[in-house]
Amino acid sequence: MIIVIGSINLDLIAKVDRLPSPGETVGGSAFTTAPGGKGANQALAAARAGASVRMVGAVGRDSFAAEALALLRDGKVDLSGVAETHASTGTALIMVADDGENIIAVVPGANASVVPGDLSKAFLKKGDVVLLQNEIPLATVDAALDQARAAGAITVLNTAPFQGQAAGFLDKADYVVANETEFDLYGEALSLQGRDRAARMRDFAGKTGRTVVVTLGGDGVMAATPSDFLAVAARKITPVDTVGAGDTFNAGILASLHEQGLLTKAAISGLSKDAIHNALALGAKAAAVTVSRAGANPPWRHEIA
C-alpha cells in the first residue's frame, strides 16, 4: 500500500490573462474551487494510477472539508487516517495565466496540526511505500521518515515547498524528488560539489546512497543513483494549467515501479537504468496529461497506457 502523509487543501483558483506584477491588479476571467494540497493530489494521482492508497492528514470542521476530500472518496482512497480539527481546512489561493503558469499562496490551516502522534494512523508495515511532502510540519515529516524506516517501509520525499531545515533529513528518504529550483537551494544548504546540477546530483547520490530525481519543467527530468545517471525529455505539449503537475509526476513514478514489482527494499538498492527510465517516462506522461487540462486533475491509468 502507498501511504501518503501530507496536506489536504481546497484550491481557490482565479483564471487571468497574465500574472500580476507586485502591487498590480489584473482582471480575471473565471473562478473555480477544486480539491488540492500536495499530499491529497499525490494520493489521488496514485489511486487513479491503480494503487491502493491511504491518506494521513487533517481537515477542519468547516464547509471546505467535504469538497477537499470529495475526489479522494471518489478515488477509493482510505481516509481513516484523516483527522477533523478545530482549525480551518487548508486553502491555496491560485492564479493561473493563459500560458498555464501560476502563482500560489498557501494557508496551511489544519495541515499545521498534523503532528508525529498522528502517525500511528498510518499503520506502517514492511513493504509499504510512504510518500511525504513539506506542506505539513517538518518535525512530522522527519518523524515519519524514521518510523517508516523502522517498519521496513520505502520512503519517497517530495521536497516541495523548499524549506531549508528539511536539508537535514533528505538523506533519510530512499527517493528524493525535487524541482530544479528546490534542488539548487538544497544543494547550497548541503554544500554539494560539482560544476553543474547533474554533477551535484551525482554528489548527493554518491554521498547518501539514495536516488535523487530533479524535474526540469519543459526540459524534462534527470535522475541520479549511486551508480547511474539518466535524463528523460519532456513531452511537447501546450500547457493549460500546470497546477498539480509535479504531484502527478511523483505518483506516476511510484505506479511504474509498482507495476514492475520494484517497490521493495531489496529492489530499490539495485534498480536498473531501464527500470528508472520507465518510471520517469510514465511520470512524465502522467504529468503531461494533467497540465493539458484545468486544475490538479490527474489521469486514470487507462489514460497513460
Distance from chain centroid for Cα 207: 24
Q: Give the burial string for 249-277 (b: 16+ CB within 10 Å, else e).
A: bbbbbbbbbbbbebbeeeebeebeeebbb
Q: 89: which residues sit within 8 A by CB, 6+ positions away?
A: 8, 9, 10, 59, 60, 62, 64, 65, 68, 109, 110
**Quick check: 136 and 39 in contact, CB under 8 A?**
yes
Instruction: Give the H or E element holding residue 233.
Output: none
CA distance 118 to 40: 16
Sheet of 9-16: strand order equals: 28-36, 9-16, 90-96, 102-107
Residues forming the active site: 247
**Quick check: 5 and 34 in contact, CB under 8 A?**
no
Largest distance between two CA atoms of the chain: 54
**Quick check: 205 and 212 in contact, CB under 8 A?**
yes
Please report the sign of the dihedral spanned by the C-alpha atoms of residue 71, residue 74, residue 78, residue 79: positive
**Quick check: 41 and 296 in contact, CB under 8 A?**
yes
